Amino acid sequence: MTVRTLVKQLAAAADGPVRVSGWVETVRDQKKVQFVILRDETGAVQLVHPRTDVDEPGSDALATQISALSHGSFLTVTGELKHDERVKLGGLEVKIGEIEVTAAALDLPIAEDSSIDKRLDWRFLDLRRPEQNLVFRVQTTFLHALRSWWVENDFIEIHTPKLMASPSESRAELFEVEYFETKAYLAQSPQFFKQMAQPAGFGKVFEVAPAFRADPSFTSRHATEFISVDAEMSWVTSHEDVMRMHEQLLVAGLTAVKEKHGAEIEAAFGTTVTVPELPFPRIPLSEAHSILASRGYTVPRADGDLDPEGERRLSEYVKEQYGHEFVFVTDYTSNIRPFYHMRHEGDPSLTNSYDLIFNGTEISTGAQREHRIDVLVAQAKEKGMEPAELDFYLDFFRYGVPPHGGFGMGLSRVIMLLLHQPSIREVTYLFRGPNRLLP
């Protein structure tokens, strides 16, 4: 039996017998000839069958079988491959010899113009679109490049637990679950556990794993379960060291995406992948407020944190002034940062921290962590937290820990903004939000 050939392999194959498998995308049932567009995980190919029943309807069994094919059915087709530059789809076609219907499909319940909610109800069908296939190939390339950069730079990959005995940062936005005779919490982030690797002497660590936020937000950039990209490293002197690591990592990821998928992304999404120049622009939060005010916008949040509109407008400014899609907003005030962020020496109202904004939306928070136990306890109390409830975490700092820092970054946000998609729902394999637990 002829071995199955992927569609992407057909261009390099010689004319002759071939076997392809995939699902029916289109059937054009004409009087003298029939065409079927068959798509597999690598692309689409045109199948052709010249009818022999023009004068004797019903005498061509293959033609009858083709006429009955339903959109979405999975087939295996054996036939003759022929390269023909006149064929618009790839310059080749397969003359059908035999069709094996592996799994017939009912009428599909969604179309390309269906609403996002309906498409998510039938996500396994929505994912058949070539644009969706490309999304996850881009994500695979991006993550592989990040991992390669980390490994080449002596980072250790860790896998931290997602069931926690106590909250990772606060009791807000937590999912509480039954855990035998007690309660557990789904991890908001691996923050405490990746910090634990620092007194363990690991030096530099990374993790790509799920995180959970019980946040009832319905925005285009929020999810209750998401993939968090995290890194932490010892012996930093400030958050500047973390930013340098972060920007180099992203350049590696975007370079790989552009080289492998740049042309496909432009064809499918009409956007050009830009590899950013180093270093990324850095703007202190106070200066960001001044820039926005000079452009007629006052951030409405009482705590001074940038809101989505402020992020968008600041990105416009950075694009105009620096020609850059990224900007680090640095030196956040301590009132809007967690207790474990290190404060500025001589000015405890500011922290050694940053947010990274990409194409108008925040994708990451990073910081130098406070490693001095007395200062850490004092800052926890200042935030209204009870140190006794943090003992397992505070113990990390009682037996020696080096200065360290790191970041957490939302993967879906990065892919959404890279491909200029309207929502993370479009770039998440199976989205979870306040009103979605299926499929």
Query: pLDDT tens across 42-93, in order?
Result: 999 999 999 998 778 878 999 999 999 999 999 999 999 999 999 999 999 9
Is 204:165 a contact under the CB 8 Å cutoff?
no
Bin 96: left if φ > 0, else alpha if -120 < ψ < 50, else beta.
beta
Residue whose entry in the numeric block shows the structure tokens 């618009």: 88
Nearest-angstrom CA–CA distance, 291 and 303: 18
Mean pLDDT confidence for 248-259 = 98
| pLDDT for residue 327 is more than 80 | yes
At residue 51, what are phi and psi to the nearest 5 degrees? Answer: -70, 145
**What's 433's DSSP letter?**
B
Percent of the chain, pLDDT > 70? Answer: 98
DSSP-assigned letters across all residues of 233-285: EES-SSHHHHHHHHHHHHHHHHHHHHHHHHHHHHHHHS----PPPSSPPEEEH
- Nearest Cα to 209, choosing from 281, 168, 170, 160? 160
pLDDT per residue as tens digits for the range 162-189: 999 876 555 568 999 999 999 999 999 9
Is 404:236 a contact under the CB 8 Å cutoff?
yes
pLDDT computed for residue 53 by the predictor: 83
Name residue 228's beta-bridge partners: 209, 410
Side-chain half-sphere exposure of 151, counting CA atoms within 13 A: 7
Percent of the chain, pLDDT > 90? Answer: 93
- Cα 328 to Cα 122, 243, 359, 361, 398: the distances in Å are 38, 8, 12, 11, 32
> Beta 182-186 vs 204-212: how paired, if at all?
unpaired
Retrieve residue 188's tokens: 């908001």
pLDDT computed for residue 14 by the predictor: 96
Mean pLDDT confidence for 202-220 = 95
Q: Where are the domains of the chain?
A: 7-103, 123-426
Which residues carry a binding-site annotation for ATP? 362, 410-413
Nearest-angstrom CA–CA distance, 288 and 279: 18
| pLDDT for residue 216 is more than 70 | yes
pLDDT computed for residue 112 by the predictor: 86
Under CATH, what is the fold of the domain 123-426? BirA Bifunctional Protein; domain 2 (3.30.930)
Amino acid at the residue 29: D
- Nearest Cα to 212, choosing from 168, 267, 276? 168
pLDDT per residue as tens digits for the range 282-320: 999 999 999 999 999 999 999 999 999 999 999 999 999
Which residues carry a binding-site annotation for L-aspartate? 169, 213, 365, 369
* Secondary structure of residue 335 in the 3-state scheme: helix
pLDDT computed for residue 50 by the predictor: 96
Q: Describe the chain by its helix, strand, coil percentages, rounded to 5.
A: 30, 30, 40
Name the CATH superfamily for 7-103: Nucleic acid-binding proteins (2.40.50.140)
Mean pLDDT across the chain, nearest whole number?
96
pLDDT computed for residue 235 by the predictor: 98
Angle between helices 285-294 and 308-322 (to 10 degrees): 80
Nearest-angstrom CA–CA distance, 374 and 367: 19
- Nearest Cα to 324, choosing from 366, 285, 278? 278
pLDDT per residue as tens digits for the range 114-157: 999 999 999 999 999 999 999 999 999 999 999 999 999 999 99
- Cα 201 to Cα 149, 171, 194, 400: the distances in Å are 20, 29, 11, 10
**What's 187's DSSP letter?**
-
At residue 28, what are phi and psi to the nearest 5 degrees? Answer: -110, 105
At residue 238, what are phi and psi to the nearest 5 degrees? Answer: -170, 180
pLDDT computed for residue 323 by the predictor: 97
Write the CB contacts of 198 (distance below 8 Å, at least 6 apart in sequence): 232, 234, 371, 396, 401, 402, 404
Nearest-angstrom CA–CA distance, 313 and 437: 34
pLDDT computed for residue 331 by the predictor: 97
Residue whose entry in the numeric block shows the structure tokens 């350049």: 251
Retrieve residue 89's tokens: 């789809």
Retrieve residue 400's tokens: 């020696």
pLDDT per residue as tens digits for the range 366-384: 999 999 999 999 999 999 9
DSSP-assigned letters across all residues of 67-113: HTPPTT-EEEEEEEEEE-TT-TTTTEEEEEEEEEEEE--PPPS--TT
Nearest-angstrom CA–CA distance, 66 and 218: 45
pLDDT computed for residue 148 by the predictor: 98
Amino acid at the residue 231: A
Is 335:379 a contact under the CB 8 Å cutoff?
no
Which residues carry a binding-site annotation? 169, 213, 362, 365, 369, 410-413
pTM of the full structure: 0.95
If residue 355 lies in a helix (H) or strand (E), which one and from where to where?
strand 353-358
| pLDDT for residue 247 is more than 70 | yes
